[in-house]
Amino acid sequence: MEYNLSFPTANKNISCQGVIRTCNEDFFVEEMMDVSLADEGEHVWLFVEKRGENTDFIARKIAKHAGVREMDIGLSGLKDRHAVTRQWFSVYLGNNPEPEWAQLNDENLQVLSYQRHSHKLRRGQHYANRFVLRIRDIKGDLALLEQSLEAVSRRGFPNYFGEQRFGRNGANVNKAVAMFKREIKATKSKRGFYLSAARSFLFNRVLAERIENSSWLDRPSAGPLYGELPRDFVDQIFEDRDPEGYVGCSQLERSIFEQYPDITKGLYANRLKMEERPLAAIPQEMTWTLLENVLDVGFLLPTGSFATSLLNEVVNYSVFERTYPSE
């Protein structure tokens, strides 16, 4: 089955085109975290800056340098590879001596600070991400571009999961379905990616329908991250448990879920719990400047929201095509 990963924008008057990620410095992300480090405990928290590397690679590099297992490394969020990112890692050392962290520094990795902590860093522990993006080769109606930026800063944008969630050409959704059908096996980490991609796809389809009927900004404005409701809640409210897991969903949501039984049955079988996600995200501290044909945009987004989903409401962007030497 083909899974359509083209989702409508709320802004029907996008007037400009541009190119992102021409170089790593064009896409800057920094995790924002309220953290109190007492400089004691069995964990060391590192705040690092990486360039052109993915988060898992850096985590393995830190583990090797510290002489610990990869499972002893904690992180709050996965960050883009083709970017400059600042993010937190934790390292469980126990009573082992602390390595020389400065020895990790190279052209692609800098340890900015470190301190002891009593707990491991957990996923999603940071409260926001700060972005500074550069879009080059801007072409089109600049007056409409200004209006689009103003609208996004004021009302927000559709809180779609970005294309990064779905893998190249949406491969993660197809692999999720193949995993559900036992056509492929997946490691624990890959399984998490595939389950997340499948749930994100369903959420995006619901949000897309809400955009088409102009209800995405209605209050309350939240959409489902598909799964089953807690048994005690279902038993209290409903007489019968729905074997497909649709109980508690709106008619619109159910009509969409019924189109993708391979995904809904697979998620339900994996015992994921129903959760909610805001349909709209509102950027904080949003600023922009346009000089000649270069647009610079800065903003804060809550954890889990995608900068590319904001950009989709402003400019028709393409990603700079990188070429790599053959090996």
- Give yes or no on whether 7-27+128-158+283-320 and 34-126 have one common fold: yes
- Residues 160-278, CATH architecture: 2-Layer Sandwich (3.30)
List the Cα angle 170/172/173 in 5-degree steps: 75
User: Where does 181-314 have alpha helices with state H?
Assistant: 188-212, 231-237, 251-257, 261-269, 307-311
Residue scoring higher pLDDT (240 or 91): 91
Span 142-169, pLDDT tens digits: 999 999 999 999 999 999 999 889 988 8
CA–CA distance, 191 with 34 (Å, rounded to integer): 30
Residue 72 is a catalytic residue: no
pLDDT at 324 over 50: no
Looking at the whole model, is its pTM more than 0.85? Answer: yes
Span 47-89, pLDDT tens digits: 999 999 999 999 999 999 999 999 999 999 999 889 999 999 9
User: What 3-state DSSP class applies to 286?
Assistant: strand
Name the residue ranges covered by the structural domains of the chain: 7-27+128-158+283-320, 34-126, 160-278
The domain made up of 34-126 has a fold known as Pseudouridine synthase (3.30.2350)
| Residue 273, pLDDT score | 85
Span 232-269, pLDDT tens digits: 433 433 334 444 445 457 889 889 999 999 999 999 88
Which residue is catalytic, options 34, 39, 56, 80? 80
The domain made up of 7-27+128-158+283-320 has a fold known as Pseudouridine synthase (3.30.2350)
Collect all residues with Cβ–Cβ distance below 8 Å to 192 and sequence separation of at least 6. none
Give the distance, in angstroms, between the CA of residue 35 and the centroid of all CA atoms in the same chain. Answer: 21
